A and B are shown apart, each in its own frame.
Chain A
Amino acid sequence: MTGFWALLKRDLTLAVREGSALGTALGFYLVVVAMLPLGLGPDLKLLSRIAPGVLWIALLLAALLSLPRMFEADHEDGSLEVMATAPLPLELAVAAKALAHWISTGIPLALMAPVLGLMLNLDITLTPALVGTMLAGTPAISFLGSVGAALTLKARRGGLLLALLVLPLYIPTLIFGISAIGFASLGQDGLSASLLILLAISVASVAAAPLASAAALRLQMS
């Protein structure tokens, strides 16, 4: 497992040094959410009703922006091929990279959501539910996204293809993320059920996605 932690550490170091991926994702998130009230008009009731959905969808799109870079850099400089011949199984290497993506993109986006929620007049009591569901749901975004990133690795300008492949896979996360916040806003106790389903989706994708991603990467390298 030394290799796993070494790779995680390296990817996080690179994410900090390069910085552009996170900056782009956070900036995109901010811009999309900031533009929405301008488009819809200053109807506070309407904004506060649609806020959770807007925050979730914008988060998905922002996370999608940085996905293509997940394997691209390592493929371009040959690191990926060396990793494929290492004692650490490629599946675990993929898991380390997806985990690094979650830590460097998913968590900052989830933490930024309540700040943006203020711009949409989101009920402040919903903030814990919003951040909680986003933290529970974003691992699925990174890990499922790794499959798409691996499949479109060699496709030139594969970003759009990646979106087409991956966005449908995010639908369950989106549905249960929104429903959890809906339950919380109505004061019903369905929150924990939705949160558990979100966690289950995340756990399932953490377990299964690395296998698919590694298979796709092997195909890309052949």
Chain B
Amino acid sequence: MFRADRNEKFLAALRLAGRAQQDAGGPDAFFAVAKREASQLYRRLKSRTSTAVLVNFANPLCRRPIRAGSSWVDRLFLHADNLTVERGTRTVISALSFTAKAGEALLLVGPNGAGKTTLIRTLAGFITPAAGTISLNAEFTDQDVAEACHYVGHLTGIKANLTAEQNLVFWAEYLGARESTPIEDRVHDALSHFGLSQLADYPAGLLSAGQKRRLGLARLSVAHRPIWLLDEPTVSLDAASTDLLAKLIRKHLANNGLVIAATHLPLGLEDPTYLRLGPAPSTGAAPGDTLSGGGAP
């Protein structure tokens, strides 16, 4: 929200005021704080009014259940049309169109601040786009992407005071109420896939960052979702764990799943599609029409 140069000015003013404070009472610090607070408030109010804040009340109580059959998955695709997303007063993504198909991995690449996280959060339904539409194909037209997706963000969603197993059992119950496989089997498989079986009864708060991350990712396999939205899933994972994740993603793709991931690593996938975001490099396409198949990140 607050521009870096203004912050610097503010800090400089504070430093000055700190020196002034040693001599006199230091009203400069007070004015600097007041000025910053007022301008921040003004900006916040301005961005609130200029961005239409829409709350999705679209009948949440009677959404159609996700069918876990196989008749629809081979036709599943996600289509974003002319998507424009604003954060505050800044347009992060402008007029972006792309289609992701079942069995295909779409990797979002781009420099920091290019809008990878924003795009994933928009697809997951947290951010309302300023313009454009996100749609699933006919089978899903009245269904949110949010309902059909696993969202893995920067945070792991792990409770420190529960054991690793209790954490996963909760997510299996919460996310996978319609699964036919017993919960114990799903949790056991997920733990053993990520090599966490030994730590199942260990409080999750005592796990290392990488182990917590793996536990968070294990959520992907305790409930079925056709679409996986992964935001930097490899953060704090070692090479072996990254391979385990890649294996899980390949299995999901083989089952006609759809994966959209923001990543700096190629994830060991055979033929991912790259979607380049942000300012275009010399070889890339112009922003707004940035789907370049098979190119290197």
Contacts and interface: CB of A to CB of B under 8 A. Distances in A.
The finding on whether chains A and B are genuine partners in a shared complex, rather than unrelated, reads yes
Interface of A: 1-3, 5-7, 9-10, 13-14, 17-18, 73, 76-79, 81-91, 214-215, 218-219, 221-222
Interface in B159-201: 159-162, 166, 170-171, 173-175, 177-178
Given A221-B126, A222-B127, A88 B174 contact: yes
B178 A87 contact: yes
A215 B55 contact: yes
A interface, over-half SS: helix
B interface, over-half SS: loop
B272 interface: no
Contacts of B60: 89-91, 214
B161 A89 contact: no
Contacts of A87: 63, 65-66, 147, 175, 177-178
Contacts of A215: 55, 57
Nearest to A3: B174
B124 interface: yes
Interface in B127-167: 127-128, 146-147, 149-151, 153-162, 166
B157 A2 contact: no
Given A87-B175, A90-B60, A77 B126 contact: no
A183 to B, nearest CB: 39
A90 B166 CA distance: 22
A9 B60 CA distance: 23
Contacts of B151: 81-82, 85
Given A6-B174, A81-B157, A222 B162 contact: no
A86 B162 contact: no
B233 to A, nearest CB: 13
Given A77-B156, A221-B126, A222-B53, A86 B149 contact: no
8 contacts: A3-B177, A14-B161, A84-B125, A85-B150, A87-B177, A88-B174, A222-B53, A222-B126
A214 B57 CA distance: 10
Contacts of A10: 159, 162, 166, 170
Given A3-B174, A85-B149, A90-B60, A79 B159 contact: yes
A77 B157 contact: yes
Contacts of A73: 159
A7 B177 CA distance: 12
A85 B146 contact: yes
A221 B53 CA distance: 12
